[in-house]
């Protein structure tokens, strides 16, 4: 079935080569079924359009016989203004897709199109309002994002300054600790020398501190 369908599709042209296996055949079979269903729909549509055309032609002949036979009206007997009006009437009927050219059909079609127009306008206004709201929110969000970026940058700069300050203070603290330790050693050495030279123990730095306390 698939092979015959492909030959039918390509006609006199050679069918392109393809790998024949279960999967490719299944896919082509599905495509074939869809294609055949579509062809059936198109044929039905064509038949319907032919039927409508025949009905319209018969109705046109019927009214033409009445106008020409009973009333003596023909296209040649009409004024240019009347012909123009008739053409406008036909075009309007086709544009509005009415079944006939009665006033009722025209009014119904115009009312329907007017209703659709109002719906479209209302929908457009609603969409415009949503768009404006979204634009406001987007603008606010972008401004907030920009402000946050600036705040983060300032915070980074502040943290860098604090970190540099902390490093300096840490170095100063280490220096003071080192100097304090060095001075304590020197004081102890000086006191040891003084004691060795006969200094009264009550006059040492440690004894004076205790006495002061």
State the DSSP code for 125. H
**pLDDT confidence tier of residue 50, bands split at 50, 70 and 90:** very high
Query: In the predicted model, is pLDDT for residue 182 greater than 80?
Result: yes
Structure tokens at 172: 């100063």
Stated pTM of the model: 0.36
Note whether 109 and 97 are within 8 A (CB): yes
Q: What is the pLDDT of residues 22-48, one digit of tens each?
A: 888 889 889 989 988 998 999 999 999
- What pLDDT does 188 receive? 82
What is the end-to-end Cα distance of the chain in Å, rounded?
A: 115
E strand or H helix at 48, and its extent?
helix 22-65
Q: How far out from the chain centre does Cα 188 lie? A: 81
Note whether 154 and 160 are within 8 A (CB): no
Structure tokens at 133: 């709201």
- What pLDDT does 43 receive? 92
Question: What value does the mean pLDDT take over residues 42-63?
Answer: 88
- Side-chain-facing half-sphere of 148: CA atoms under 13 Å: 6
């Amino acid at each position: 079935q698939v092979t015959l369908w492909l030959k039918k599709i390509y006609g006199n042209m050679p069918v392109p080569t393809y790998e024949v296996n279960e999967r490719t055949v299944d896919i082509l079979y599905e495509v074939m079924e869809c294609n055949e269903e579509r062809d059936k729909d198109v044929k039905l549509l064509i038949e319907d359009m032919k039927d409508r055309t025949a009905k319209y032609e018969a109705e046109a002949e019927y009214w033409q016989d009445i106008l020409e036979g009973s009333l003596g009206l023909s296209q040649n007997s009409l004024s240019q203004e009347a012909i123009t009006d008739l053409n406008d009437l036909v075009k309007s009927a086709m544009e509005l897709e009415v079944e006939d050219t009665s006033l009722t059909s025209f009014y119904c079609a115009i009312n329907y199109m007017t209703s659709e127009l109002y719906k479209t306008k209302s929908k457009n206004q609603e969409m415009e309002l949503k768009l404006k709201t979204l634009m406001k929110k987007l603008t606010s969000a972008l401004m907030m994002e920009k402000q946050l970026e600036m705040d983060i940058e300032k915070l980074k700069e502040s943290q860098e300054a604090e970190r540099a300050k902390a490093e300096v203070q840490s170095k100063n603290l280490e220096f003071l600790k080192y100097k304090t330790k060095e001075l304590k050693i020197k004081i102890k050495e000086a006191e040891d020398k003084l004691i060795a030279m006969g200094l009264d123990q009550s006059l040492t730095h440690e004894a004076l501190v205790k006495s002061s306390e």
